[in-house]
Amino acid sequence: MSRSAPNVLITGGGIGIGRATAETFAQAGYRVIVTDILDAGQTVADAIVAAGGQAEFHPLDVRSTADADRIVADVESRFGALDCIVANAGIAHRVPMAEMTDQTWDHTLDIDLKGMLRVIRPALAGMKAAKTGSIICLSSIMGVAYGWDEHVHYSTAKAGVVGLVRGLAVELARAGIRVNGIAPGYIRTAQLLSEEHSLGPAGAEKAGDFIPMGRIGEPGEIADVALFLASQAARYVTGQVIVVDGGLLVGRY
């Protein structure tokens, strides 16, 4: 077992915010456990290793309790307790409420909210034994402040993330484990640029007109906040959901 580097497990690490987070943590000296349902996660891990960092890829559908348990146990057996988890995997599909089925609703919450539980739960014993750990969960401005029409299931899941962060932070604080969240605003990801499910390229650029900083965000700007929350610089921060939106929420009157 080697403790030469702190360990971070990232879900949805193959693209977008997850990929940027994997790269950012690798540059900071972490051993990065990239997980994703997409094969792109392997590309991310390979690129980190090629650049001199430490990373490995594990295919993971966060709907699978068995797979999440297995991956965490495997990583712990070889490298020790996880130092950090970034629960980032999620989906956001446009579905009007009149067309919402139980299956569609459950599918979104199973990934966007319960998927976090599945990777956090098996890591807690190791973190408690080590008396340290940082858990970071991705919410959204659509979960902390805005409603999003035709994405009610997504907003519901992301609002649930806020409750998860607050409750778990209190439960784990005396064990030395910090739990925080990030609520991104409009960030340049494949999800945001989807014409079918979000703003699309033209809408994303127009969004800059009403964001005080004059532009949408980049994935790396979320990754940097995640790295801060994982670091000793945030050692007295827990139970918080930090909005990263270029001033969008405070600038809309």
- The pLDDT tens digits for 132-144 are 999 999 999 999 9
Tokens of 44: 């991310």
pLDDT in tens, 185-202: 999 876 665 555 556 676
* pLDDT tens per residue across span 50-96: 999 999 999 999 999 999 999 999 999 999 999 999 999 999 999 99
d(CA 81, CA 126) in angstroms, rounded, equals: 5
Cα gap 164→187, rounded to integer Å: 23
* Per-residue pLDDT, 222: 98
CA torsion 166-170-176-180 (nearest 10°) is: 10
pLDDT in tens, 225-250: 999 999 999 999 999 999 999 999 99
Q: CB within 8 A of 10, min separation 6: which ones?
A: 18, 21, 22, 25, 32, 33, 34, 35, 85, 86, 88
Residues contacting residue 191 through CB under 8 Å, at least 6 positions apart:
16, 92, 197, 198
- Give me the pLDDT at residue 110, please: 98
CB count within 10 Å of CB 99 equals 9
Q: What percentage of the chain carries pLDDT values higher than 90?
A: 87
H helices present in 175-247, as ranges: 200-207, 219-230
The predicted model scores a pTM of 0.95
- Distance from chain centroid for Cα 87: 4
Rounded to 5°, the CA angle 24-38-205 comes to 65
Predicted confidence (pLDDT) at residue 203 exceeds the cutoff of 70: no
Residues annotated as part of the active site: 154
Domain ranges of the chain: 7-189+220-245
pLDDT tops 60 at residue 169: yes
Q: State the Cα–Cα distance between residues 238 and 55, nearest whole angstrom.
A: 27
Report the CATH superfamily, name and number, of domain 7-189+220-245. NAD(P)-binding Rossmann-like Domain (3.40.50.720)
pLDDT digits (tens, 9 = 90+) for 100-126: 999 999 999 999 999 999 999 999 999
**Torsions phi, psi for 32 (to 5 deg):** -105, 120
Beta strand ranges found along 114-192 (DSSP E): 133-138, 177-184
Q: Which two tokens stand for residue 157?
A: 């899941």
Beta bridge partners of 58: 35
CB atoms closer than 10 angstroms to residue 104? 13
What φ, ψ does residue 78 adopt, rounded to 5°? Answer: -100, -30
Q: Is the pLDDT of residue 3 over 90?
A: no
- Please tell me the predicted confidence (pLDDT) of residue 148: 87
pLDDT score at 210: 86
Let me know: does 23 contact 222? Beta carbons within 8 Å.
no
pLDDT-based confidence at residue 207 (cuts at 50, 70, 90): confident
